Amino acid sequence: MKAVRNQGKSILEKDQENVWHHISKYNDKSHPLIAKEAKGSWIIDYQGNKYLDGMSGLWCVNVGYGREVLAKAAYEQMNQMAYMSMTQSHIPGIELADKLNELLDDDYMFFYSNSGSDANEVAFKIARQYHEQKGDTSRYKIISRYRAYHGSSMGALSATGQPLRKYKFEPLTAGFLHVAPPDNYRKPDHLSIEEYNLQQAKAIEDTIIWEQEETIAAVIMEPIITGGGILIPDPVYVKAVQDICRRHGVLLIIDEVICGFGRTGRMFGHMNYDIKPDIITMAKGLTSAYLPLSVTAVRKDIYEVFTNESADNYFRHVNTFGGNPAACAVALKNIEIMEEENLTSQSAVLGEHLKNELQELNNHSYVGDIRGIGLLLGIELVEDKTSKQPAKPERVAKIIKECKDHGLIIGKNGDTVAGFNNIITLCPPLSITDDELEFMI
């Protein structure tokens, strides 16, 4: 008789022997959270311990866990038709695109993929092919910002501005340039916020000019840098970047992978600013992570450059799973939940409350800055409030551990030049209750 593999081993031992965790250090022997179930804002592990998920998974479970209607939407769609590729079309995919246009103001075409990285890869390819087909054959470079994260695949990682995530894999894709984003907490004292933000926007224009405008295809940015440490720009910055892009014939790609779907108190993060992006990428909150799905939204006049039938102008990109019908059905239901429960305005109201309540922490010697927009908050920890030297990793790790020991999951992000993740991040489900928010505070 065949021996039963790993008989008698604990689930923890099996995990350690078989499962390669993402972006985790194996020299720290910290006990991973082995999750068994999740409801609302809470995750329960295999030993019955309960944790409030202050990060919505990886910034994605916007409507909270355990929504039966989402499971039902997937179940019903899988029963009716489990698969259809997007080389053709299907009803949930069409209905979802129509709904997204309603949310965005009716001006886009939608290309489906599976992840945020995919959606950004598609955006880069569309930007390059768009210029090529318009006769601007040398426009291939993409400008992004230091500190931003845009994904893990080679192109999306090339756009990412966090050296620690990249250096082991270099050289990456050619043609990606980076400039510093505004970091208002660290702005020079002699400049006003507006002056400083305009100066940071000008860095993008300078790069376009120095690199020669006719080589630049696109600028990609998140409306608010999330994984790089919750960097909220002044409105003048975002508007100025759009104006610069338009002035130089450069496409503006807005990465809404985290900021989208109510996270910042608006349906999309860019709606906090007075802009109309050329291309928008979305993932995570699109389905609240119940199933994988992402979208690259492309303004119709850009799309038209791909539709000239006399030429060989179609977009040369396909993926097998993108726009899976069940994932589209879940996304539609997820948006319906958000609308019925007013989760976007709840995000704005609760986020403001959370930010105000946390201000008390400013009295603490290691707390340098507390900032946020909607239910997307950062607490920047420093060794010293005057020098703003980032807090040591062990100090940040201790806080994360203390919170976990008390049943609260929070994040740490940043990836500054010094390589510190010194910003505590809070990004709970938008459906979080008042009591849960008090627990978090």
What residue ranges bind ligand PLP (CB under 6 A)?
58, 115-117, 120, 149-152, 222, 226-227, 255, 257-258, 283
Nearer to ligand PLP, 226 or 287 (CB): 226
Nearer to ligand PLP, 90 or 150 (CB): 150
| Minimum distance from residue 404 beta carbon to ligand PLP (Å) | 21
| Minimum distance from residue 98 beta carbon to ligand PLP (Å) | 24
| Minimum distance from residue 409 beta carbon to ligand PLP (Å) | 16
Radius of gyration of the chain from its Cα atoms, rounded to whole angstroms: 22
Nearer to ligand PLP, 368 or 429 (CB): 429
Say how far apart CA 372 and CA 365 lie, in whole Å: 20
| Minimum distance from residue 342 beta carbon to ligand PLP (Å) | 25
Nearer to ligand PLP, 144 or 436 (CB): 144
| Minimum distance from residue 367 beta carbon to ligand PLP (Å) | 24
Q: Bridge partners of 407? A: none
DSSP state of 272: G
Nearer to ligand PLP, 368 or 411 (CB): 411
| Minimum distance from residue 112 beta carbon to ligand PLP (Å) | 13
The CA distances from residue 329 to 174, 291, 431, in Å, are 37, 10, 20
Contact yes or no for 151/166 (Cβ under 8 A): no
| Minimum distance from residue 153 beta carbon to ligand PLP (Å) | 7
Say how far apart CA 286 and CA 366 lie, in whole Å: 36
CA angle 403, 408, 413 (to 5 degrees): 70
Q: Which of 43, 50, 36 is closest to 64 using CA atoms?
A: 43
| Minimum distance from residue 375 beta carbon to ligand PLP (Å) | 15
Nearer to ligand PLP, 79 or 320 (CB): 320
Nearer to ligand PLP, 150 or 355 (CB): 150
Say how far apart CA 111 and CA 109 lie, in whole Å: 7
Contact yes or no for 281/119 (Cβ under 8 A): yes
Q: What are phi and psi of 291, to 5 degrees?
A: -140, 155
- What does DSSP say about strands 141-145 and 50-53: parallel, antiparallel, or unpaired? unpaired
List of residues 6+ apart from 150 with CB closer than 8 A = 116, 117, 120, 144, 156, 157, 159, 160, 220, 255, 257
Nearer to ligand PLP, 119 or 408 (CB): 119
